[in-house]
Amino acid sequence: MKKKLLLSSLLLICAVGCQSDEGKTEAYNEQPEGQSYTVTDDRGEDITFEKIPETVVSLAPSNTEILFELGVGENVIGVTEFDFYPEEANEIEKVSDSQTIDAERIIELNPDVVIGYTIGAPDTLDPLEDAGIPVFVIHSATNFEDVYSDIEQIAEVMGVTERGEEIVTNIQAQMEEVATKVAEAEEKDVYFEISPSPDIYTTGANTFQQEIIEAAGLNNVFADEEGWLKIDEEQVIDRNPDLIATTVTYTEDPVGEIKGRAGWGGIAAVENEEIYLLEADIMDRPGPRIGEAVEHLAQIAYPEKFE
C-alpha cells in the first residue's frame, strides 16, 4: 500500500536550500505596509491580498521548498506527509498526503493563504475557498521555465519578489556552468527509472526530469515518447543505455534489483556497473534545487569534467 501511495504521489507532484536567518524575510520584503496587491495564479485567477501573508499552508513539497528558500519558511503552518526538506519541514503539521487534504483542519488553522496544487478531484480546494481562505494554485511544472515562474509567483505572493529573482538567477548560473563543463563530452544514453519492476515507469519528453537529463548533457533513451511512461523490461534492453539512474527508495536494494533482472546483463550500463541511485527529493521535485539536480547527474555521467 505504501509503495502505491508513494508512486501515485510521485506521478502527481513530481511534480531547497535551508531557511536563512530571521531577518531575511524583512530584507526582501518589498510590499508597502498596509497596501493591497494582486497576484495571478496558474488558473488565471487574480488573488488579492490586503497584507503580506503571515501564515501559509503548502500542499506540495516543491512549493514548501520554494517558501523556505525564499526565507519565509517560518510562516508555513501546514504541509504534506511528503515534506521532508528542509529538516524544519518535518516539524510542521501534516494536513495532506498530496492527493487528499484535511480541509477541516486547514480551515481550523485559518491560514492567510494556501499555496494549492492541481491534485485529486477538481473540487478538492473548494471547501477552503468557500471558507474564505485565499487559495493560490500552482500547476505541475513540466520544465525549468515553469519552475522559475513558480518561484517568482510565490515570491510575489509573499512580498519578496527580489529574493525570487535572485534565486532564479543563481539557478540559471549553475545550469550555465554545468553546460560549459559538459559541452565537449561525448554524449551518453541514460535510462531514468522512477518505479521498479514489475510496474516499471520512466520519464519521456515534456517532463521536468527530461529537462534535467538534457541540461546534464545526456540523451534520454525514451525521449521519443511523451510524459511518464509505463514500460516493459524488453524496451530497456533494446535501447541499451550507457547509464541507468533510479530514484526508487522504497525497495531494499534498488541497484541490486536492476542488476539482477533477467536479460539485463547485456545492457551496457549493467556490464559497466553504471547504475546509480539518486536522491528522489532532488531529482523529482520541480523546486529550487533543480540546478543541484542537473549538476549531480552531470557529475555522475561525466566525472572527468568536474575534476
In this prediction the pTM is 0.86
- The pLDDT value recorded for residue 35 is 87
Q: Domain residue spans in the chain?
A: 37-159, 184-305
Q: Which helix (H) or strand (E) holds 46?
A: strand 46-49
Q: Which residue has the cell 560549459?
A: 180
At the top level of CATH, which class does the domain 184-305 belong to?
alpha beta
pLDDT in tens, 109-138: 999 999 998 756 668 899 999 999 999 999
Q: Note whether 37-159 and 184-305 share their fold.
A: yes
Contact between 246 and 215 (Cβ < 8 Å): no
At residue 36, does pLDDT exceed 70? yes
Greater model confidence, 169 or 35 = 169
At residue 150, does pLDDT exceed 60? yes
Least-confidence region, from 15-29, 185-199, 216-230: 15-29
Level-2 CATH architecture, domain 37-159: 3-Layer(aba) Sandwich (3.40)
pLDDT in tens, 210-252: 999 999 999 999 999 999 999 999 999 999 999 999 999 888 8
Contact between 156 and 208 (Cβ < 8 Å): no
Mean pLDDT, rounded, for 12-23: 36
**Maximum CA pair distance of the chain?**
66
Which residues, listed in sequence order, are joined to residue 100 by a DSSP beta bridge?
none
- The pLDDT value recorded for residue 142 is 84
- The pLDDT value recorded for residue 153 is 97
Least-confidence region, from 8-12, 20-24, 63-67, 132-136: 20-24
Query: Residue 30 — pLDDT band, cuts 50, 70, 90?
Result: low
Burial per residue of 217-226, b for 16 or more beta-carbon CB atoms within 10 angstroms, e otherwise:
bbebbbbebe
